[in-house]
Amino acid sequence: MKRNFTFIALFLCAIITAQNSTDVLRYSSENLQGTARFQGMSGAFGALGGDLSALNVNPAGTSVFNTNQATISGSYYDRSNTINYGGTSSGAYSGYVDINQAGGVLVFKSSSPDTAWSKIAVAINYDVVEDFDNEIVASGNTSEGIDKYFLNFANGVPFGDILLRDGEFLEDAYLDIGEAQGFKDQQAFLGYFGGIIDPVSEDNDNTSYLSNASYSNVNQQFSRFTSGYNSKFTFNVASQYRDILHIGGSLNFHNISYTRFDKFSESNYNADSEIQRTTFDNRLFSEGSGFSLNVGAIAKVSDMVRLGASYQSPTWYRITDNLQQRISSDLADQDINFINFDLVNVFPTYSIKTPAKLTGSLALIFGKSGLLSLDYGYQDMSQAILGKKNSSEFSDTNTFIANDLGGVSTFRLGGEYRIERVSLRAGYRFESSPFNDGSTIGDLESVSGGVGYDFGSSRLDFALNRTERNVAEFLFDTGLNTPAAVNAVRTNATLSYTMRF
């Protein structure tokens, strides 16, 4: 009698579904987050400072503060996706509320008029630099069935390597093959006992497989639900030299939590096909931590002009993935339901090194009336590394990154106009595609606006920003080569409260 249980398998090889260039891009991106003032001006704070989220751009900015302050921010996130796949258009919408920023700064001023270093500021800040909550629903007719996925893994795998041993349960074999032989053999096993593929011959040495599905076009229904965050806890120290220079540095501690649940079904095979329906679901959970540092400076050229420059080091992540799968079809083994989400594949911890980033900034200060600020940032995504450099484990992925990814340019323009206690803000952000072809992930454009009211000892700020980007979302990492075309629109409404003390 078989029983349901949980088992953890340690995989000894790289896996295409859990670790690839998509992970590098996911953890390298930093969507516009932070305080409402920061968001209202599209994050153009590199030569300004004076805002806790500005630490993400230039760590010298904390020494611009004149008083001790603490800020907390909450956002409403609206996600709207328009998806085109297989000739069919659909939409997916979601919304939620979260605390996305909290921090404070202490300012220590020198009591000696002869001291050149007139001020030191120490700050700590928590920011959600990227949230992963999203939903994609795609449906349509294509000429590429799920059998292509399993055939890509199975061809080349000896048939005898994926057969059950005497007295072995199906669920035990699924995990044992993954542990001893790797992900490729495990997916071949899943395709065979799921009824999707068969060997050309039942000889143990056979390495060729064929599909049990007959079709010219199939109907596919696909849903992808993701959740989680990439957060950053920052410890910062900055100092002011006379009235002309601010310098600072930050240590950043990153934390990652990411969940992806893919639900897939396929139908509309030919009438004489041995298979008439297939379902294949996957759930991936990733968690990890990382470290980076920032250094920067802001120079006061004149009463009107300020210049800023900053360097953000690579971020070094350590990440662990686990994966759960389930499959069903007309021809599946009668015990296929024992392979389900109770069985957890845990993969060895791996590393990601995201590229360094340089930012140059210019700000114009119009007395107490307002300001205008411009930031330009550059990050070369082709320098990202999955795993150890020159390691054969992820050599194919790192070759792809080096050849297909390129430099990302970011422009941020923001302005603020003050009317007594009221501040009006607006901003624009452009970020180029990380892909050389510009199509897999398109350029990003964002507009923002906001308002703030200063009560004297405290301030209340509100911001609204809208970001749009086109993304080619692949249902699987191999086999199905036609992506869903996604127009992704993100709208954040953020409220911040700042207290001076």
The rounded distance, in Å, linking the Cα atoms of 450 and 128 is 19
- Counted residue by residue, the chain has a size of 501
Residue in the block written with tokens 């845990």 = 346
Say whether pLDDT at 4 is over 70.
no
Say whether pLDDT at 206 is over 70.
yes
Least confident of 130-134, 296-300, 393-397, 422-426: 393-397
- Local confidence band at 7 (pLDDT 50, 70, 90 cut-offs): very low
- Local confidence band at 20 (pLDDT 50, 70, 90 cut-offs): low
pLDDT at 76: 95
**225-280 pLDDT tens trace:** 999 999 999 999 999 999 899 999 999 999 999 999 999 999 999 999 999 999 99
Q: Are 332 and 195 in contact (CB under 8 A)?
A: yes
Q: Are 358 and 410 in contact (CB under 8 A)?
A: no
SS3 content of the chain, % helix, strand, coil (to 5): 15, 55, 30
**438-478 pLDDT tens trace:** 888 999 999 999 999 999 999 999 999 999 999 999 999 88
For 344-413, give the DSSP string: EEEPPPEEEEPPPEEEEEEEEEETTTEEEEEEEEEEEGGG-EESSTT-STTHHHHHHHHHHB-EEEEEEE
Say whether pLDDT at 13 is over 50.
no
Is residue 301 classed as helix, strand or coil in its secondary structure? coil
Q: How high does pLDDT run on average in the chain?
A: 92
Token duo for residue 233:
């806890």
Q: Are 431 and 409 in contact (CB under 8 A)?
A: yes
Q: Are 450 and 37 in contact (CB under 8 A)?
A: yes
Name the residue among 212, 236, 192, 210 with its Cα closest to residue 57. 236
pLDDT at 458: 96
Residue 275 host element (H or E): none
Counting other chains too, the contacts that 158-166 makes at CB distance below 8 Å and 24 or more residues apart are 158/204, 158/205, 158/206, 158/207, 159/199, 159/201, 159/202, 159/203, 159/204, 159/205, 159/206, 159/207, 160/204, 160/205, 161/185, 162/188, 162/189, 162/192, 163/204
